[in-house]
Amino acid sequence: MSIRERIARRAEQEIKDGFYVNLGIGIPTLVANYLAKDKQVVLQSENGLLGIGPYPTEEELDPDLINAGKETITAAEGASYFHSAESFGMIRGGHIDLAILGGMEVSSCGDLANWMIPGKMVKGMGGAMDLVHGAKRTVVIMDHVNKNGQPKILRACSLPLTGQRVVNRMITDRAVIDVTPDGLLLVEVASGYTVEDIMQCTEAELAVAGDVVLEAY
């Protein structure tokens, strides 16, 4: 199993039966492939689709059916299509139970930076700024460190913010960390890592839960 798949599988556990969920661009889109069959879940896309299915096979590819990240997708039975304005009304109206988003940086108080790196071309800010304020809960899934080995969970974000104090939980390839009123709390450690490993690769101050789960995923 790849690192991305392992993160996506763990993130699926955040989705409860009956939830309306928005999956962000990147690793979050993989979560659709691992939805438990006993859960009734509706996936929403900002570009106007309610009822996203798993990634298409080669036979199922339809170039006209895409998500907000311009990736080809499938539509689940009973899916509906509508204007993006209605889709954002759904988000801003508080009708999304959970947003699972990617992240470039997260701060110790739950600030999120995930939409641009200054000086680099971006397609646009997308719907993340609305989602982090409109969704009832926001979970960020990402690698624990960047490609240079530097922490992505920081005391303060250095990149332009998507939202302030908006993240509830982070799921990385190494750990699950909650944002609490008292700071960051380590609640799960992935297989192959120790609590000490997580402390060393996290810049922000990190408390350890008394019931922290080791080798959780």
Give catalytic residues, as residue numbers. 46
CA angle 29, 171, 7 (to 5 degrees): 50
The pair of structure tokens assigned to 181 is 């009123």
Which region, left, alpha or beta, applies to residue 165 given φ > 0 means left and ψ of -120 to 50 means alpha?
left
Gap between the Cα atoms of 183 and 194, Å rounded: 20
Q: Give the three-class secondary structure for 215.
A: coil
Asked whether the beta carbons of 162 and 112 are under 8 A apart, the reply is: yes
Sheet with strand 175-180: strands edge to edge: 75-81, 49-52, 42-45, 20-23, 98-101, 138-142, 169-172, 175-180, 183-189, 206-213
Direct distance between the N- and C-terminal alpha carbons of the chain, in angstroms, rounded to an integer: 11
